[in-house]
């Protein structure tokens, strides 16, 4: 019997490698492999495990006659040509269950930080500046939080918010009947009318690209705090800046950017970031919301279970 081989192109927890090996798979673990090297080596592989480094499109799929599945160690499936994979009969899946709590905790931490000016005050104190009134914060208690899309991470965030005495509203275009003790299922219009805080949990698709634009921010009856821990390209960054300057957005927390390859930035992209920084109302982190030690293991465990459950 020929051993089924799986290629892993990014860093994963050893529990995934050990589990697959124990189940009889041949595991080739190459976390430094390039996209070109993946394309040139796909012929023998039964399975492919990726993160965000490699885009699995037509070239890779055509070079993989034995491929049965591609899975993402994480949540976003925009790194796979899903339509072509389906056409080729290749199963695709991800592991959002593994890092949903990490993303939720990070979103909450960033929100509390920006609402209470913690990072700004920290930098001031480090510089010998002691400003109390200028850094007076805002309490989360009593606020209404609107969640845009109600998948794994939004559900985890709703559970974390229970102890903060807040009202949680959620809108999902493709999901209904999810209201429970943690969240109220509502229309997008009701979120526009009531929300003080908005957290986006959208996947990146053709439909969601730049869905968060100035027109979106202009719909809210109150100025809002804005959180994006999903994908940078669901938001038009220039429109966010405009909304901040027009005080439609009080403050924003961004774990993701439209272009996360900073070395490739144009002068316009650099200027836009600098303009956001100068508002002194935006908190950034480098796409690490789901990047915890615990989530690394959980993602491995989720993928291992899903792969072992396959019926090929």
User: pLDDT, tens digit, for every residue of 203-229?
Assistant: 999 999 999 999 999 999 999 999 999
Structure tokens at 127: 């510089």
Mean pLDDT along residues 13-33? 97
- With cut-offs at 50, 70 and 90, classify the pLDDT of residue 311: confident
Cβ-Cβ contacts under 8 Å for 80 (sequence gap 6 or more) = 50, 55, 56, 57, 70, 72, 92
pLDDT digits (tens, 9 = 90+) for 224-243: 999 999 999 999 999 999 99
In the chain, CATH 3.40.50.720 sits at 5-94, 100-284
Tell me the pLDDT tens digit for each residue of 63-107: 999 999 999 999 999 999 999 999 999 999 999 999 999 999 999
Rounded CA-CA distance 281/250 in Å is 7
Q: What is the mean pLDDT of residues 31-41?
A: 95
How far is the C-alpha of 196 from the C-alpha of 88, rounded, in Å? 46
Question: What is the second-level CATH architecture of the domain 100-284?
Answer: 3-Layer(aba) Sandwich (3.40)
Residue 249 main-chain phi, psi, to 5 deg: -115, 125
Q: How many CB atoms lie within 10 A of CB 153?
A: 26
pLDDT reported for residue 310: 94
Percent of the chain scoring above 70 in pLDDT:
100
Fold of 5-94: Rossmann fold (3.40.50)
Residue 312 has pLDDT above 90, yes or no: no
> Looking at the annotation, which residues are catalytic?
231, 260, 287
CB atoms near residue 49 (< 10 Å): 24
Q: For 102-152, how does the pLDDT look when each residue is reduced to its tens digit (9 = 90+)?
A: 999 999 999 999 999 999 999 999 999 999 999 999 999 999 999 999 999
pLDDT exceeds 80 at position 1:
no
Counting residues of the chain whose pLDDT is more than 90, the rounded percentage is: 97
Q: How far is CA 17 from the centre of its chain?
A: 24
**pLDDT value of residue 84:** 97
Residues 297, 265: contact at Cβ < 8 Å?
A: no
pLDDT for res 220: 98
């Amino acid at each position: 019997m020929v051993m089924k081989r799986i290629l892993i192109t990014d860093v994963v927890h050893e529990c995934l490698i050990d589990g697959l090996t124990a189940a009889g798979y041949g595991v080739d673990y190459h976390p430094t492999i390039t996209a070109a090297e993946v394309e040139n080596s796909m012929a023998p592989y039964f399975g492919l495990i990726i993160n965000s480094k490699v885009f699995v499109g037509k070239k890779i799929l055509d070079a993989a006659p034995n491929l049965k599945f591609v899975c993402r160690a994480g949540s976003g499936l925009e790194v796979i040509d899903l339509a072509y994979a389906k056409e080729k009969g290749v199963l695709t899946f991800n592991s959002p269950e593994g890092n949903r709590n990490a993303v939720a905790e990070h979103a909450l931490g960033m929100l509390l930080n920006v609402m209470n000016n913690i990072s700004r005050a920290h930098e001031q104190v480090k510089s010998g500046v002691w400003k109390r009134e200028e850094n007076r914060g805002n309490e989360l208690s009593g606020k209404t939080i609107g969640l845009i899309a109600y998948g794994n991470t939004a559900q985890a965030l709703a559970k974390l918010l229970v102890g903060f005495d807040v009202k949680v509203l959620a809108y999902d275009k493709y999901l209904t009947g999810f209201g429970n003790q943690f969240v109220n299922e509502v229309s997008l219009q009701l979120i526009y009318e009531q929300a003080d805080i908005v957290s986006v949990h959208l996947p990146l698709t053709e439909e969601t690209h730049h869905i968060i634009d100035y027109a979106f921010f202009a719909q809210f009856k109150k100025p809002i705090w804005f959180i994006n821990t999903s994908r940078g390209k669901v938001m038009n960054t220039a429109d966010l800046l405009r909304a901040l300057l027009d005080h439609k957005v009080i403050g924003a927390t961004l774990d993701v950017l439209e272009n996360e390859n900073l070395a490739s930035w144009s002068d316009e992209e650099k200027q836009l970031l600098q303009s956001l920084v100068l508002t002194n109302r935006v908190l950034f982190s480098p796409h690490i919301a789901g990047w915890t030690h615990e989530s690394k293991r959980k993602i491995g465990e989720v993928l291992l279970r899903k792969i072992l459950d396959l019926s090929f």
